[in-house]
Amino acid sequence: MASLTIRKLDEELKALLRLRAASHGRSVEDEVRVILREAADQREASASAPQSQPAPRRHAPATASGKERVTLIIGGGIAAYKALELVRLLVKAGADVRCALTRAAKEFVQPLSFQALSGRPVATDLFDASQELAAGHIALSDWAELAVIAPATADLLARARLGLADDVVTATLLAIPPERTLFAPAMNERMWASPAVAETMAALKARGCSTIGPNAGEMAERSHVGLGRLAEAAEIAAACAQKLATLAPRPIPSHLHDGPAQPRAWDLENVPVLVSAGPTREHLDPVRFLSNPSTGRMGFALAEAARDRGARVTLVCGPTELAPPTGVEVVRVESALEMQAAIEPRAAQQRAIVMAAAVSDQRPAERAQQKQKKPDGDEHLRLVRTPDILRGLGERFLNATPRPLLIGFAAETERVEEFARAKLVAKHLDLIVANDVSGAEAGFAALENRVVVLDKDGGRAQFAGPKLAVAHHLWDEIARRL
């Protein structure tokens, strides 16, 4: 074989090749030769093989929903947050999903987030009578056509190998046939390379368990790189589909015929919605500006929840450190005037407009083109009002037919409901979401939120929890009014 040159490969691909070569005890060039040889062998095999018969179609599983049934078990690792995306993909693909979390997993992700995405109760406690009826370990094992363990930590893998059953997760695994399990390991690369983990994986595979991953890359510990990263959610979802295609349908016991998940899934299918998120910045000069502590987290959660329910989402967001959700149209803006210019031309095409952005109320009357030097003595800054985008939309669509549903946010530090209802009336809104931002546990920058939803007819609802779960509750309220 001619000499191989890899200098022109990009650095990421080189790094992956080096990791793969190291894991197999080969040089990089030898690893490339192996990859090419395998590809050639597969091509020859596919060319010479007789026309294969298509895989037999699975009969619809015996559930009221007619969906394939997946139990997702979440272990307690830093990768646990990725399981939320896996739930979304499985539900989007048509699966009925139930979740179970280890005690450690609850330190990384909240059970309510999984309940919001799956529409099913979440199992967390082996000795909770109410959970045992709805999502206990025997119910989960009887119900599941496939159990997916993601992330499967070193501890959880070892407990599964030993057949321990001291919590809802291991008890569920013990009661599920091994051939109906798919493990997605995730751990530090040194842990993955340890003989103990290798023996555990070999034992589980010998019983008939399937695995996917781990992938190579950077670990949570910044200085560590290697094999151990959880496979991507899309890869695990694809592996689930392949595994389910090989399994015989599994009738569900009659006592577990509880009907489909109570969803939300796709109740906003193809509904155009617009969500604003994050702060705005009103510049004094090129390096100084007026703004607020908004991170965009609540608005991003609203956009993500709407996307997961099938909506066509436009997300207009101010400057944030967070990455916006995928699968939505993102329009980046900085100032209140830019946000107004982005929203107003799109407003008439929306069924709902949710203004979760924290738009600055004032801006400097003048913006300097160069950085201003510090003078002696006191300074006086003249401020002018920024446009009230939501009030403008309320007045524009006041007597229009059809008109988008208008939802505002009111971040208050006192007399929260009183001030929020006044805004609801003054701006001609359909709903307003009021939250008290005076505490550190909710509101700006927090992972959770506590809100009161007021409607124009005097209705009131109250929600609390992780922001994604709160976002789904808000879309429940909105969807009922569309």
Which range has the worst mean pLDDT, 9-18, 63-72, 293-302, 441-450?
9-18
Among residues 215, 292, 435, 449, the one annotated as catalytic is: 292
pLDDT band at residue 348 using 50, 70 and 90 as cut-offs = very high
189 or 1, greater pLDDT: 189
247 or 347, greater pLDDT: 347
pLDDT at 127 over 70: no
Which range has the worst mean pLDDT, 62-71, 276-285, 389-398?
62-71
- Residue 102: the pLDDT is 92
218 or 6, greater pLDDT: 218
Give me the mean pLDDT over the 248-255 stretch.
65
pLDDT at 214 over 90: yes
Mean pLDDT score across all residues of the chain? 82
Query: What is 258-325 written as a DSSP string?
Result: --S----TTTTTT-EEEEEESB--EEEETTEEE-----SHHHHHHHHHHHHTT-EEEEEE-S-SSPPP
pLDDT at 403 over 80: yes
- Residue 280: the pLDDT is 94
Region of 121 on the Ramachandran plot (φ > 0 left; ψ -120 to 50 alpha; else beta):
beta
User: Please, are residues 97 and 63 in contact by the beta-carbon 8 Å criterion?
Assistant: no
- Which of these, 322, 232, 312, lies nearest to 274 by C-alpha position? 312
Query: What is 74-137 written as a DSSP string?
Result: E-SSGGGGHHHHHHHHHHHTT-EEEEEE-TTGGGTS-HHHHHHHHSS-EE--TT-HHHHHHH-H
Contacts of 473 (CB under 8 A, 6+ apart): 116, 461, 463, 465
Spell out the domains of the chain, with CATH numbers in brackets: 69-217+224-256 (3.40.50.1950), 272-363+382-479 (3.40.50.10300)
- Tokens representing residue 116 in the block: 């919001």
- Residue 37: the pLDDT is 66
Which range has the worst mean pLDDT, 15-24, 198-207, 410-419?
15-24
| CA–CA distances in Å: residue 70 to residues 57, 114, 125, 441 | 18, 13, 19, 34
Among this protein's residues, is 292 annotated catalytic?
Answer: yes
pLDDT band at residue 262 using 50, 70 and 90 as cut-offs = very low
Ranges of beta strands (E only) in 125-248 are 146-152, 181-185, 210-211, 215-218, 225-229
- Which of these, 390, 308, 295, lies nearest to 343 by C-alpha position? 390
